[in-house]
Structures are given as structure tokens and as C-alpha cells.
Amino acid sequence: MQNCLKVFITFLITSFVITNASAKESGFELSTSLVGMSMDYREYDESNEILDSETSKFTEMVGPELRGRYTHLHQNQNYSSIGINLTYLSGTTEYKGARLDPVTLTYGAYGSYVGTTKNRILDTSVDYSFTHAYKRGLEFSYGVGVGYRSWRRELSPSQIEVYAWPSLRPNFTISYSKRWFEVGTTLEYQYGINPEMTVLKDSENPDTTLHLGSANILQISVPIKFILTDYLTLFMENSYQYQVIEKSDSAAYVYNSTVVSISEPKSVANNLYTKFGMIFKF
């Protein structure tokens, strides 16, 4: 965590110098931030009893986020913009669940086994929005984006699962600004398209892909910005994600030379994100 923070601070200082040395009026902006994620992910059986869970603190799942945006100002002071976003997080979560009995192929009680899971999350998107600018610093925006999300979940060297899906992302934002300060609220719905979970195997066995029933996310974000100059803004942002993945279909899976039928259970995640960063206009 300390090494990530040192690299991040060094990058921000360098970017600050470059930006102030060559700043000019333009419709482009670039933002970079350090992200910490608190994960609370839980899987449930058909009786809605918990099977297993993954949890983390903000300092245990961290990574960078990069955003680029072009804004076109209209004559009536309304404006439209197009942006691209990339977030990459890695770290560990605490797994709480049960081990699989190799003889009966059944799991024990929830909490009978506790371990550590390695995770990598990649989220990318492109979006377009239109903003109505009202008097006294009030603005209302609406837009839509397309994105792709991937979560690599390494419970052990021999049990690696990858969840992945593209998504359609409509969003709405209301914000208020005054001189050097701006605060807003963004509501975004991510509709997963053909979501899948793949169980990765070794070179002697093929991967097994399960088709998830659905994978949808509702996200609420509250960004706070501190405008230092025409070219430089500091910001922090807190986001809450409510994610629901419905049970998958069944597929054949090879376990200890035995072919069994497996499926991915329903899961619900309540995830929190905190971001600190800078916005550079040029």
C-alpha cells in the first residue's frame, strides 16, 4: 500500500508540473486517482442461505483510475461531452465458506473454512452525456455508456474463477458549483449483457464456462471537487455499488477425474469505493 501511494504521489506531482507549464484553453481534461475498494460479496443457495463470502477493507483492494473527457460548450451554455474510463484494482479479500469433500462432493457449513482470495478487477467504459446548465451553478446531466467488467477471483492456485460481461450504462447526474467548489450525485445502472463465469483449468483439462442468469449493478456516486485553477482541480469521490448476479445454468466439470455437474449460485455484493485524485484541463 505504501509503495502504491508513493508512486501515485510522484505521478501527481510530475503531472502538476507538466500541466502548469503547458496549460491552455481547450475542451479536453484528464483525471487520475487512487481507488480503494471495500468488498462485501455473498453467495446464496436456493433457500437463500449464505454459502460463502468475500470481504475486504479499503486498503486491501487498491489501484488506479484514469479518465479522459472532451467537452463541447453550446451557445446557450449547455454542453455535451464524451469520455473514456479505466479502473484497475488488485488485492486480497477474506474468504469465508467451506471446503469441498472430495468423496461426497458436498460442502460443509458456512464459516467452517476461512482463507484468502487474490483478486483483480478491470472496469472500462465509454460514455456520452448532455448537460443542462441552470442559473446559480445548478446542472442536470443525462447520458449513456457501454462498458466491460472483469473480476478474476483466485481462491487457490487450482481454483480460479473469472466473471466477465459487457454492459449498457444509462446515468443521471445533478450537481451544484460555486466558485472553487462543486458537489454532485450520479446514479448509474449497469445492465449486464450475456454475463459469464469461467472456471480456469490446467493444461490437461478444458476451462468450464457458465452462463449467468444476469449480472446487474446499481451505482450511486458523490464526487466533491475543489477547483484550484482553470487547469487544475482536486477531487474525492465516494461510490456505492449494489450488484446482483443470478444463478447460472449447469455445466459438466472434471474434478479428480470425476465428471460432475456444477452451477454458479446467486450472489449479492455491496461494494464501497473511495477515490482521491486530480483533474487536469488542457
- The CA-based angle 244-245-250, given to 5 degrees, is 160
pLDDT number for residue 206: 78
The domain that contains 104 carries what CATH number?
2.40.128.100
Q: What's 97-164 look like in SS3?
A: ECCECCCCCCECCCCCEEEEEEEEEEEEEEEEEEEEECHHHEEEEEEEEEEEEEEEEEEECCEEEEEE
Distances 116 to 15, 90, 113 between C-alpha atoms, Å: 36, 13, 10
Average pLDDT rounded to a whole number, residues 133-142: 94
pLDDT number for residue 17: 39
pLDDT number for residue 103: 63
Confidence of residue 7 (pLDDT cuts 50, 70, 90): very low
Confidence of residue 205 (pLDDT cuts 50, 70, 90): low
pLDDT number for residue 24: 29
Domain extent at residue 149? 2-281
pLDDT reading at 143 higher than 80: yes
pLDDT reading at 202 higher than 80: no
pLDDT reading at 12 higher than 80: no
Confidence of residue 14 (pLDDT cuts 50, 70, 90): very low
Write out pLDDT tens, residues 226-264: 999 989 999 999 999 999 999 999 988 776 677 878 899
Task: Report d(CA 174, CA 67) in Å as an integer.
Answer: 19
Confidence of residue 102 (pLDDT cuts 50, 70, 90): low
Q: What is the mean pLDDT of the chain?
A: 89
Average pLDDT rounded to a whole number, residues 69-95: 96
pTM value is: 0.86
- Quote the number of domains for the chain: 1
Confidence of residue 91 (pLDDT cuts 50, 70, 90): very high
Tell me the range of 25-29, 176-180, 272-276 where mean pLDDT is highest: 272-276
